[in-house]
Amino acid sequence: LILLDRDVVLVTINYRLGVFGFLSFEDDVVPGNNGLKDQTLALQWVQKHIASFGGDPNKVTITGMSAGGGSVHYHMLSPLSAGLFSKAISSSGSALCAWGVKRNPKATASAFAQIVGCPINDTTLSLRCLRERSAEHLMGAVRVMVPGGFPTDLPFMPVVEPKGPNAFMDEYPIDIIEAESFNDVPALFSYCDDEGTVIALKIYFDEKTLESVESNLDEVIVKAAFIDIEPARGKEVARVMRKRFLGDKPLKESARG
Residues 6 and 88 in one domain: yes
| Domain coverage including residue 180 | 2-16+32-100+161-190
In a domain, 132, yes or no: no
Asked if 202 and 210 count as a contact pair (C-beta separation under 8 A), the reply is no
Amino acid 2: pLDDT: 52
Residue 44 within any structural domain of the chain: yes
Is residue 41 domain-shared with residue 96, that is, in the same domain? yes
Helices (H), 146-224: 173-178, 197-205, 207-215, 217-224
The C-alpha angle with vertex 33 and arms to 67 and 188, in degrees rounded to 5, equals: 40
The answer to whether residue 127 sits within a structural domain is no
Residues 205, 181, single domain; the answer is no
Specify the pLDDT at position 4: 61
Is residue 117 a part of any domain in this protein? no
In a domain, 62, yes or no: yes
Distance CA 102, CA 157 (A): 5
Own/partner pairs for 214-222, CB < 8 Å, 24+ apart?
Answer: 214/250, 214/251, 214/252, 217/242, 217/251, 218/242, 220/150, 220/152
Domain for residue 27, yes or no? no
Asked, for residue 165, whether it belongs to a domain, the answer is: yes
**87 within domain boundaries:** yes
Same domain, 167 and 250: no
Q: What's the confidence (pLDDT) of residue 12?
A: 94
pLDDT reported for residue 226: 60
Q: What is the DSSP letter of 148?
A: S
Q: Please count the structural domains in the chain.
A: 2
Residues of the chain scoring pLDDT < 70 = 1-4, 147-152, 223-231, 253-257
Residue 70 shares a structural domain with residue 179:
yes
What DSSP state is assigned to residue 52?
A: G
What pLDDT is stored for residue 75 in this prediction? 98
Name the DSSP class of 6.
T
Residue 97 has a pLDDT of 85
Write down the pLDDT at residue 233.
Answer: 78
pTM over 0.85: no
